[in-house]
Amino acid sequence: MARLWNSILRFLFRRPQVERELDAELQYHVDRQTELNVERGMAPAEARRNALIAVGGIEPLKDECREARVGRAIETLGQDLRYGVRVLRKNPGYSSAIILTLALGIGANTAIFSLIYGVFLRPLPYRDGGQLVVLHQNTKQARQSDIGFSPLEVADCAEHNHTLNGVVEHHAMTFLLLANNNAERVATSVVSVNFFDVLGVKPLLGRTFLPSDDNRTSAVLVLSYRYWQSHQGGDPNIVGRVFQMNNMAHTVIGVLPPIPQYPVESDVYMPTWQCPFRSNPHNIANRNFRLISHVFARLKPGVTGQQAQNDLSVVASQIYSAHPETYPAGAGLQIVADPLQSDLTHDARTAFLVLLAVAGFVLLVACANVANMMLARLLKLERELAVRIALGAGRLRIMRQLLTESVLLSVAGGALGLAVAPLSLKMLVGFASRFTPRANEVRIDGPVLLFTLAISIAAGLLFGLLPALTPWLNAGHSLHGARATATRGRQLLRASLVVAQVAVSFLLLIGAGLMIRSFHKMGAENPGFDPSHLLAMRISTGFSRYQDSISQRTLRHNIASKVSAIAGVRSVAFTSNPPFAPAGIIAGPGSQSFEIEGQPASRGAALPTVDLTVVDENYFQAVRQPLVEGRYFTGRDADDTPAVAIVNRTMARHRWPNEDPVGKRVNLGGQNWITIEGVVGDTREYGLQHPTLDELYLPADQAGGATSLVVRADATADALLQSVRAAVHEADPLLAIDQVNTLERFEFDSLTPSRLMTILLGIFAGLGVLISASGIAAVMALAVTQRTHELGVRLALGARHGAIVGMVVRQGLVLALCGTAVGALAAAVLARLASTLLYATSPTDLPTYAAVAVVFLAVAALACYLPARQVTAIDPLSALRQE
C-alpha cells in the first residue's frame, strides 16, 4: 500500500525528473549499443540506426515504460477528462440535451431517495434507536386489530417480562390550556415518568420527568420544542411558568429539543397521574379500559427482537389465562413487539417503494435515450476513431475515453439534478407526512449526496458502456472512405434501446393511468350525505365543565341560537364527530363492543363491535343523511325517556340480515338496553375510500359528547366560518375551537394522499413519455438522414413523398408497438405488487390499458411523423449526387 502511495506521489510531484531519468537511461543504452556497433565495424550513422531499431524506437519504448508505472492510470484519466470536456463543449446542443435528460432522471431519484433515506434508513434520533420496540395488543377482528392496552395490562407486561428494560406507556389526549383568559387546545402526550429516559431524550431547557413527579400533588408539564417556539415565543424563562389545565395548576419544568416526536406531534407532555381519565380509579381497575395507544420498551443488551417476542407471548398467555372473563379465547388476542423503526414507517412502505421504483424506471428510460444519442454520435465519429486506431491508439484506450466522456456527462447531469431536487422536497415532505411521523427528517444531506454521486456515475457507465461495446471499429472500412453505413448489429441495438424505453415508459404511464382511474373512482363515491354548503368545527368544552346532559343541552341551545342568527345559516346541528373531519379520518372508526338482545355471544367468543356517533335531533336533516326506516331522533329523546338508537343500513343488514332492526335492542355494557328506532343511509364519513362499517347513532341527550358543530348555509364562504366561530365564542369564550372548515374542503383533504400519489406518478410517467418520445424522434431523424440516398432513389423512381413519410412512420410505429406490448405485459405483473395503492381498480383494468395505449401510440406516431417530414426536404438529384 505504502509503495502504491509512493508511486502515485512520485507521479504527481516528480514527473519532470522521472521523465528526464527515463530519457537519460534510454539514451545511455543507445549510446553504448552504438559504440559496440562501431567497434564491430559499422559506420557511425548506421551503427546508431541499428541501435535504435534494436529497441524499437525511443518514443514507443518510453511510452511502454510509462505504462509499467501506476501513475500512468491517473495521467490517462486526466487526459481523457480534458479531452472529454473539450469535445462536450464543442457540441453544446448534444451535451446540454444529454445533461438535461439526465438531470431530470437523477433529480427525481435524488428527491425520492432523500425521502426513502429520511424515513426508512436514517437512524432514529434516540440513543440506540435500534433497541427500541413498540408493543401492540392485536385481535383477529377485522375492524380494529390494534386495540391498545389498559393500565393493568401494561403493568403486567412490565412486571413479568425478562427481556425488556423500562416498559413505558403513551397516550394522546387533547386538553384545554388556559392562559391569559384564553382557552387553547393543546395536543397532550400522557406518558410514564421514565418515558424520556427509556427513549434517551435530554431536555433543551430544565428537566424531563423524575420518579418524584408521580406524586399526585403538584402537576408538571414538559413542552415540545415546536410548541415552545410557536405558542410561547421561545421564552427562555418558560421553566417555572404555571398554566391552568383540567382545573389544576401545571408548572412547566422543561422543554424538549427539536426532535421528531413519535407516535404523534404533541404540544405538551404530562405524567400519567395528571390525565383525568388515566387516573380515574374505576378506569385503572378496568382491564377493558384500553386508553393506552403505544407502549415503548428497550431491549435488554444482547436480546434479539425474536427473543423479546417469544418472552412477550408467554407473558400475554399468562395474562389471558388469569382473566378468562376479560379475554375470551375467540378474540384471538396477542401481544407483539415491533422494532420502533418499522412501526413508524409501516404505512409508508408500499407508496414509497413504488415511487422509488418509478423514479428508477425514469432514470433507465433517460439512460436508454442517452445511450442512443451517444450511438448516433459515434456514427459521426467513426472516421475519426478509425484514424486514431490506424495511428496506433489502443481500442481499450478509446473505449476508456468514451466512458470518461459519458461519466462526465452524467455527473454534470447529476449536479444539475441536485440543484433541482430541493424544489420538489417541500411537496414530498408534505406528502410523506400523511404516511409517517418521520417525514420531518427528510432532507438532502451527506448520504443523499453520496447516493446522487453513485447513481450519476453508475448511469454514466451504463449508458456509456453500451455504445463503447458495440462493434464500431470497422476501421479499415471507414478509412477507405466508404460512406459510414450503420451495421445491422448496431441498428438492432438502437431499435432494442427504443423498444426498451418505450416499454418502460408505457409501464409508467399504465401505473399513472391506474392511479388516475382509482382516484377518480374514489372521488366518485357517494359520501351518503350532502357535503355542499356544510361547514364544521370541533368544539371542546374541557373536562371540568359541561359534564352532564342538562348543561350540554343548554350549551348546544346557546350556541345554536347565536349561530342561527347569522344571515345565510339554514340549520345548525351537533355531533361527536363531524364527517370527513381530520380527527376522525386520522383515528378511524372506533370499536365499542356491544351485545345484541337474543344473539348472545357464545362462550369464549369476542363481543361484536361497532363505531359510535352521538348526534343531536337536527343532525340527520342538517347533513341530509336519508332515513331508510323508522324515525330520526327528536327532542323528546332525552335523559328521562327510554334509551334509543339509530343504526346505518350496513349494520342493519349485517346484524339483522332477515329481520326488521327497528324495535330490536342492544346494550353497550351494563343492563341499559337501547331500542333501535330507525335505520339511516350509509355514509363514508371516515374518508371516501373507506367502505362503510357498522354505525350506531345515539341521541345527544342520552349519550353526551356531541359538542362539535355542523352548519348548513346558503353558501359557504370563509367570512361565514369566521362569524360562526365568533358566535360560538359569544356563547362561551372559554370553548376551544379547531378543525374549522367546509366539509367540501375536508373531503378534498381526505383525498390528498391519493391525489399526491397520483400527481407524482403522473409527473414521472409524463417525464418518461417525454424522454422516450424524444428518443423515438431522434432515432427516426437519424434513420432518415442515413437513408437520404436510398430515399432519394425511391423519390427519383417516382415514389410520392407521402408514401415515403408513411413508410418511415410505420417503421417507427412498429418499434413503439413492440415496446407497448412488452410494457403492457410488465405492467400486468408489476401493478399487482402495488395493488394496495389502488381503489376499486384491478391492476389489469382493461379500459385503463386501452386508453393509455391509445394516448401513448398517438404520442409515438407524432414523434415518428415530425422527423419523417424531413423526407419532403430531400432533393432526389442532390441525394443521388452525394455518393
Partner 1 sequence: MGKPKSDLLQGTLDLLILKTLDLEPMHGWGISQRIQQVSDSVLQVNQGSLYPALHRLEEQGWITASWQTSENNRQAKYYELTRRGRKQLAEEKDNWLRLSAAVGRIVGEV
What is the binding site for partner 1 (CB under 8 A)?
3, 7, 21, 24-26, 28-29, 31-33, 35, 54-56, 60-61, 64-65, 67-70
Instruction: Name the residue nearer to partner 1 (CB basis): 53 or 142.
Output: 53
Q: Smallest distance from the beta carbon of 395 to partner 1, in angstroms?
A: 20
Residue 72 or 300: the one with the smaller Cβ distance to partner 1 is: 72
Nearest approach in angstroms of CB 461 to partner 1 is: 28
Compare residues 22 and 100 and give the one whose CB is closer to partner 1.
Answer: 22
Choose between 69 and 533: whose C-beta lies nearer to partner 1.
69
User: Under a CB-based contact definition with an 8 Å cutoff, are residues 574 and 735 in contact?
Assistant: no
Q: Which three cell numbers stand for residue 147?
A: 386495540
| Residue 33 CA: distances (Å) to CA of 43, 48, 55, 80 | 13, 8, 10, 37
CB nearer partner 1, residue 68 or residue 524: 68
**Least distance to partner 1, CB of residue 75, Å:** 14
Task: Find the shortest distance in angstroms from Cβ 38 to partner 1.
Answer: 13
Chain center to CA of 499: 29
69 versus 231: smaller Cβ distance to partner 1: 69
Contacts of 853 (CB under 8 A, 6+ apart): 506, 820, 824
Kindly state the smallest distance separating residue 24's Cβ from partner 1, in Å.
7
Give CA–CA dist 805/783, Å, rounded: 12
Structural contact between residues 313 and 334, judged by C-beta atoms closer than 8 angstroms: yes
Cβ-proximal residues to 615 (8 Å cutoff; 6+ apart), any chain: 573, 574, 575, 576, 633, 697, 698, 699, 700, 706
Shortest Å, Cβ 65 to partner 1: 5
Residue 29: CB minimum distance to partner 1, A: 4
Least distance from partner 1 to the Cβ atom of residue 54, Å: 5
Q: Least distance in Å: CB of 11 to partner 1?
A: 11
Q: 10 Å Cβ neighbour count for 192?
A: 23
- For residues 294 and 343, give the distance between their C-alpha atoms in angstroms, rounded to a whole number: 11
Dist. CA 748–CA 657, nearest whole Å: 34
Nearer of residues 392 and 471 to partner 1, judged by Cβ = 392
Q: Closer to partner 1 at the Cβ: 70 or 585?
A: 70
**Residue among 25 and 146 whose Cβ is closer to partner 1:** 25
Work out how close the CB of 805 gets to partner 1 at its nearest, in angstroms, rounded to a whole number: 59
| Spacing of C-alpha 547 from chain mean position | 43
Burial grade of 528 (CB within 10 A; 0-12, 13-18, 19 or more): buried
Minimum CB separation from partner 1 for residue 51, in Å?
Answer: 9
Q: Shortest gap between Cβ of 48 and partner 1 (angstroms)?
A: 14
DSSP at 840: S
Query: Which amino acid is present at 761?
Result: L
- Whether residue 263 is preceded by a cis peptide bond, meaning omega within 30 degrees of 0, is yes
CB of 31 or CB of 347, closer to partner 1: 31
Written as nine digits, the cell of 370 is 442517452
Minimum CB distance to partner 1, residue 372 (Å): 41
The three-class DSSP label of residue 432 is helix
Q: CA 368, CA 363: separation in Å to the nearest integer?
A: 9
Which grid cell sits at 577?
364527530
Nearest-angstrom CA–CA distance, 370 and 376? 10
SS3 assignment, position 198: helix
Q: What is the spatial distance between Cα 9 and Cα 17, in angstroms, rounded to a whole number?
A: 13
Write down the least CB distance from residue 40 to partner 1, Å.
13
Q: Which is nearer to partner 1, 29 or 653 (CB)?
A: 29
Can you read off the three cell numbers belonging to residue 794? 425511391
DSSP state of 156: H
CB contact set of 720 (below 8 Å; sequence gap of 6+): 535, 566, 568, 569, 713
Residue closer to partner 1 by CB (options 3, 483) is 3
Least distance between partner 1 and beta carbon 32 (Å)? 4
State in angstroms the smallest separation of the CB of 76 from partner 1: 16
- 198: nearest Cα among 274, 291, 294, 299: 299
- Asked whether the beta carbons of 545 and 733 are under 8 A apart, the reply is no
d(CA 210, CA 504): 58
φ, ψ for residue 589 (rounded to 5)? -65, 150
Q: Does residue 521 contact residue 688 with C-beta atoms inside 8 Å?
A: no
Q: Rounded to whole angstroms, how far apart are CA atoms 174 and 184? A: 10
Q: Amino acid identity, residue 275?
A: C
Nearest CA to 460 out of 506, 504, 417 is that of 417
For residue 440, give Cα distances in angstroms to 125, 234, 262, 436, 456: 12, 20, 11, 9, 26
Q: For partner 1, which is the closer residue by CB, 72 or 653?
A: 72
Q: Distances in Å between the alpha carbon of 340 and those of 122, 133, 137, 266, 588?
A: 13, 5, 15, 18, 22
Decide whether 28 or 673 has the Cβ nearer to partner 1: 28
Write out the three cell numbers for 771: 424522454
Is 25 or 660 the residue whose CB approaches partner 1 more closely?
25
Nearer to partner 1, 35 or 525 (CB): 35
Residue 806's alpha-carbon distances to 245, 283, 781, 809, 872, in angstroms, are: 79, 81, 14, 5, 12
Minimum CB distance to partner 1 smaller for 15 or for 82: 15
Determine the distance from the C-alpha atom of residue 542 to the mean position of all C-alpha atoms in its chain, rounded to a whole number.
Answer: 37
CB 659 within 8 A of CB 703: no
Smallest distance from partner 1 to CB 416, Å: 40
Task: Output 21 or 347, the one with its CB closest to partner 1.
Answer: 21
- How far apart (Å, rounded) are the C-alpha atoms in residues 367 and 470? 16
Residue 67 CB, nearest approach to partner 1 (Å) = 7
